């Protein structure tokens, strides 16, 4: 298996610039981890709350490298068949019927039905068999949603990037895929899996970075409204919420306000569009109990934030 030494990125700054060109504001810590991951050929493990941009890293990286993105979405009950391969049973049966109709010798009927032509290649096998100029980006999304059995299987695959199909034998990767795993930390993953990866925790952005993200992703928004949105989002994440809104919600909210022609964050504007950032009834009720008019006034005047009941 070829161990590719990446020449696409010659520095951490190159990562930051390349991601910025794709409208992804990458902080220094994340850029460093991505740089080392590509240089060392090690999987990248990204952990953080939903909506902070973990999945987007894989999408942007595939665009920057101009290579294929292969995504494996994890969920409870995910098994090796769904992740690796599956035989095309209906096509196999059809082939058997056609061979019987052609009067092929009985001992030769079905000789070829366990060939690659009858194989459904799932994400892991697609990544292992890829022969693209630049290795594909294999995104294993929300690995924490899978069970421990699949986690153990995945660890084995990441160890040597080869799999065995009983009917075909062992298939080895000709080049190492660029692997990115994401986790919302809904359960603790095995240490062995994390040890094999370079780890980075993506937190909610600070005010300065959130401003830059909104400016980049929603370029037509007025600076004053953008400032108000980011200030409000920083405040709302400090509240005792079941689910704090991420940067994805910030962008959605900014686009919603812009599409409504709103240029000032008033109480009515917040109440009319709060569904863009608050997704649980319990959180909505808690926010509705607050004196939004006073909070907005404080934020606009840069006064200390208070938790008003």
- The per-residue pLDDT for range 55-72, each reduced to its tens digit, is 999 999 999 999 999 999
Q: Is the pLDDT of residue 308 over 50?
A: no
Q: Could you please report the per-residue DSSP string of the chain? A: -B-----S-SSHHHHHHHHHHTT----HHHHHHHHHHHHHT--EEEE--TTSSHHHHHHHHHHHHT--EEEEE--TT--HHHHTEEE-HHHHHHHHHHHHHTT--GGGTTTTTTSGGGEEE-HHHHHHH---SSPPEEEEETGGGS-HHHHHHHHHHHHHSEEEETTTEEEE-SB--EEEEEE--SSPPPHHHHHTSEEEE-PPP-HHHHHHHHHHHSTTS-HHHHHHHHHHHHHHTTS--SS---HHHHHHHHHHHHHTT--S--HHHHHHHGGGT---HHHHHHHHTS-HHHHHHHHHTTPPP----
If one counts every other C-beta atom within 10 angstroms of the C-beta of residue 245, the result is: 22
Q: Return the closest-CA partner of residue 144 out of 199, 178, 181, 180.
A: 181
Q: Do 193 and 227 sit in the same domain of this protein? A: no
Question: Which pTM value belongs to this model?
Answer: 0.85
Q: Do 138 and 215 sit in the same domain of this protein? A: no
* Structural domain count of the chain: 2
The answer as to whether 137 is a domain residue is yes
Q: Do 72 and 170 sit in the same domain of this protein? A: yes
What confidence tier does 106 reach under pLDDT thresholds 50, 70, 90? low
Q: Return the closest-CA partner of residue 7 out of 39, 34, 43, 30.
A: 39
User: Which of 173, 202, 231 finishes a domain?
Assistant: 202
**Left, alpha or beta for 126 (phi > 0: left; psi -120 to 50: alpha)?**
alpha
Q: Do 76 and 146 sit in the same domain of this protein? A: yes
Say which CATH number the domain at 132 has.
3.40.50.300
How far, in Å, CA of 211 to CA of 219, rounded?
11
Q: Do 211 and 168 sit in the same domain of this protein? A: no
The answer as to whether 91 is a domain residue is no
Q: Do 72 and 35 sit in the same domain of this protein? A: yes
The answer as to whether 105 is a domain residue is no
How far, in Å, CA of 205 to CA of 52, rounded?
8
Q: Do 233 and 183 sit in the same domain of this protein? A: no
Question: Average pLDDT for residues 130-153, to the nearest whole number?
Answer: 93
User: Which of 183, 202, 221 finishes a domain?
Assistant: 202
Q: Do 34 and 133 sit in the same domain of this protein? A: yes
Q: Is the pLDDT of residue 143 over 70?
A: yes
Q: Do 128 and 275 sit in the same domain of this protein? A: no
Residue 236 token pair: 């709302």
Residue 132, domain extent: 2-86+114-202
Question: Average pLDDT for residues 89-95, to the nearest whole number?
Answer: 82
The answer as to whether 100 is a domain residue is no
The answer as to whether 102 is a domain residue is no
- Across the chain, mean pLDDT equals 89
Q: Do 143 and 272 sit in the same domain of this protein? A: no
What confidence tier does 305 reach under pLDDT thresholds 50, 70, 90? very low
């Amino acid at each position: 298996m070829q161990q590719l030494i990446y020449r696409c990125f010659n520095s951490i700054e190159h990562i930051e610039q390349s991601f910025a060109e794709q409208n992804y504001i990458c902080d220094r810590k994340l850029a460093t981890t991505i740089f080392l991951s590509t240089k060392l050929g090690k999987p990248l493990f990204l952990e953080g709350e939903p909506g902070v941009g973990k999945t987007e890293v894989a999408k942007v990286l595939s665009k920057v490298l101009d290579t294929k993105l292969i995504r494996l979405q994890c969920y409870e009950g995910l098994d090796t068949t769904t992740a690796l391969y599956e035989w095309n049973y209906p096509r196999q049966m059809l082939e058997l019927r056609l061979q019987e109709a052609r009067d092929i010798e009985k001992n030769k009927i079905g000789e070829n039905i366990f060939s690659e032509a009858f194989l459904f290649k799932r994400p892991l096998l697609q990544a292992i068999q890829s022969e693209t100029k630049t290795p594909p980006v294999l995104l294993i999304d929300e690995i924490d949603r899978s069970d421990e059995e699949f986690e153990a299987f995945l660890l084995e695959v990441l160890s040597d990037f080869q799999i065995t199909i009983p009917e075909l034998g062992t298939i080895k990767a000709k080049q190492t895929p660029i692997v990115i795993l994401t986790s919302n930390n809904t359960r603790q993953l095995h240490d062995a899996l994390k040890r094999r990866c370079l780890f980075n925790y993506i937190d909610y952005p600070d005010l300065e970075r959130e401003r830059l993200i909104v400016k980049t992703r929603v370029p037509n928004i007025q600076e004053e409204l953008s400032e108000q949105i980011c200030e409000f989002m920083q405040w709302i994440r400090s509240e005792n919420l079941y689910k704090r809104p991420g940067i994805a919600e910030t962008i959605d909210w900014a686009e919603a306000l812009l599409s409504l022609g709103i240029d000032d964050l008033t109480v009515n504007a917040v109440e009319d569009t709060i569904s863009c950032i608050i997704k649980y009834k319990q959180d909505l009720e808690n926010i509705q109990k607050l004196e939004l008019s006073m909070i907005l006034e404080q934020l606009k005047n840069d006064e200390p934030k208070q938790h008003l009941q």
